[in-house]
């Protein structure tokens, strides 16, 4: 099978937790987490939750998925959701859900308050589930101004797919001056190069799964996922690559861009790389929404579950919020802030 050039070594981006008498990260531990987040755009904190606490989050997710009347989201994974390869499910602002989110935020208080004021809105609390046969997303950026959190409520293997990050591609004042003032151009070229490989990987992998005896992908689904013209910005599809309607198309290979690839190929090769986080149960992953990242495919028969929380780092225009996130109607009706979660009594 064709493999992507991805590193699974995340030690550089991990901070072992140390707690104070209130159960929050110590100031020194929080400082280390902020330093890694500032430098690379994401940080992993293993064992922030106990096995029992992680299992409680998994129960929320399974209960939500089993509810036939649940709300669903589709951002960045429309094709997979149409074919039941992923399940993005906004969670209601009910007391058990808010208490669980509050427990996590309170432990991370000194980290979160560095980036998000107490008045900043909680944009989304949701579940992110992927099943066997899900596609690898294109490398993309989410709407800027958000601090995102994934909580591993069960062990995640590389085959199940965690999240792929491109360290150092987050936006901040002066970021464009890196690599001899060519950072923005190099990131654009790297993203196109990586997405071409993801397109090729995805098409070959779908065909490989199609040839399996069990489980397999029905021919009708394979045809729809490869040739459909339905909207899906971030998941690879050959028809949309050729005819447009995707975040990555054949226009990314205009002659002047090909020349740039050749000119900067050595710099690109050393400047950026793909790192996949396949976290163990109880790990929390924090990342900036404006960094390059993607949701990988799931090659395992075991579903992959994440509890997800997104917090505004700045004021976000309402329409922009809805373009990138899928809040539950109860959260829209009664917005809550980070301060509300930090003050929530568990």
Residue 238 lies in a domain: yes
Q: Which of 32-41, 239-248, 314-323 has the highest mean pLDDT?
A: 32-41
* pLDDT recorded at residue 15: 98
Residue 135 lies in a domain: yes
Are the beta carbons of 122 and 338 closer than 8 angstroms? yes
For residue 218, what are the domain limits? Answer: 6-338
Residue 150 lies in a domain: yes
C-alpha 82/C-alpha 88 separation (Å) is 11
Number of domains the chain contains? 1
Are the beta carbons of 177 and 183 closer than 8 angstroms? yes
C-alpha 162/C-alpha 152 separation (Å) is 9
Q: Is the pLDDT of residue 1 over 50?
A: no
Residue 345 lies in a domain: no
pLDDT band at 208 (very low <50, low <70, confident <90, very high): confident
| Phi, psi for residue 259 in degrees, rounded to 5 | -60, -40
Residue 97 lies in a domain: yes
Lowest mean pLDDT among 35-44, 47-56, 109-118, 207-216: 207-216
CATH of the domain at 236: 2.60.120.620
The predicted model scores a pTM of 0.93
DSSP string, 135-172: PPPPPB-PPSSEEEEEEESS---TTT--EEE-TT----
Segment 88-135, tens digit of pLDDT: 999 999 999 999 999 999 999 999 999 999 999 999 999 999 999 999
Which residues have CB under 8 Å from 174's CB, separation 6+?
A: none
* pLDDT recorded at residue 330: 93
Which residues have CB under 8 Å from 294's CB, separation 6+?
A: 136, 137, 138, 139, 140, 163, 164, 198, 234
pLDDT band at 224 (very low <50, low <70, confident <90, very high): confident
Residue 346 lies in a domain: no
Residue 267 lies in a domain: yes
C-alpha 175/C-alpha 170 separation (Å) is 8
Q: Is the pLDDT of residue 334 over 50?
A: yes
Which residues have CB under 8 Å from 175's CB, separation 6+?
A: 183
Residue 77 lies in a domain: yes
Q: Which residue has the higher pLDDT, 174 or 213?
A: 174
User: If DSSP codes are grouped into helix, strand and coil, which group holds residue 332?
Assistant: helix
Average pLDDT, the chain: 90
DSSP string, 93-145: --HHHHHHHHHHHHHTHHHHHHHS-TT-BEEEEEEEEE-TTPPPPPPB-PPSS
C-alpha 331/C-alpha 310 separation (Å) is 12
Go through 122-144 and write b for each residue having 16 or more CB atoms within 10 A of its CB, e for each that does not.
Answer: bbbbbbbbbbbbbbbbbbbbbbb
Give 25's strand partners.
19
* pLDDT recorded at residue 213: 61
Segment 143-152, tens digit of pLDDT: 889 999 999 9
Q: Which of 116, 124, 123, 107 is nearest to 48 (CA)?
A: 107
């Amino acid at each position: 099978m064709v493999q992507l050039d991805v590193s699974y070594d995340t030690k550089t981006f991990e901070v072992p937790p140390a707690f104070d008498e209130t159960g929050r990260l110590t100031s020194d531990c929080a400082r280390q987490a902020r330093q890694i987040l500032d430098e690379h755009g994401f940080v992993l904190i293993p064992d922030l939750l106990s096995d029992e606490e992680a299992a409680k989050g998994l129960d929320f997710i399974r209960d939500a998925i089993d509810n036939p009347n649940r709300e669903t989201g589709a951002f960045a994974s429309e094709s997979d959701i149409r074919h039941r390869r992923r399940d993005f499910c906004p969670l209601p602002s009910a007391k058990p859900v808010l208490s669980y989110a509050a427990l996590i935020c309170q432990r991370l208080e000194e980290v979160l308050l560095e980036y998000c004021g107490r008045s900043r809105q909680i944009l989304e609390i949701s579940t992110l589930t992927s099943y066997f046969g899900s596609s690898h997303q294109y490398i993309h950026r989410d709407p800027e101004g958000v601090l995102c959190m994934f909580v591993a409520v069960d062990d995640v293997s590389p085959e199940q797919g965690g999240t792929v990050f491109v360290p150092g591609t987050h936006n901040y004042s002066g970021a464009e001056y890196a690599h001899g003032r060519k950072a923005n151009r190099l990131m654009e070229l790297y993203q196109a190069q990586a997405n071409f490989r993801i397109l090729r990987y995805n098409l070959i992998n779908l065909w490989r799964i199609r040839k399996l005896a069990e489980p397999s992908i029905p021919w009708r689904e394979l045809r729809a996922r490869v040739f459909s013209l339905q909207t899906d910005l971030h998941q690879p599809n050959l028809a949309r690559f050729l005819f447009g309607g995707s975040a990555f198309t054949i226009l990314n290979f205009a002659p002047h861009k090909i020349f740039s690839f050749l000119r900067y190929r050595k710099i690109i090769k050393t400047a950026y790389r793909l790192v996949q986080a396949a976290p163990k149960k109880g790990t929390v992953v924090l990342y900036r929404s404006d960094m390059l990242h993607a949701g990988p495919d799931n090659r395992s028969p075991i579903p992959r579950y994440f509890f997800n929380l997104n917090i505004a780092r700045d004021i976000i225009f309402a329409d922009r919020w809805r373009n990138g996130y899928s809040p539950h109607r109860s959260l829209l009706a009664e917005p809550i802030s980070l301060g509300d979660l930090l003050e929530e009594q568990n």
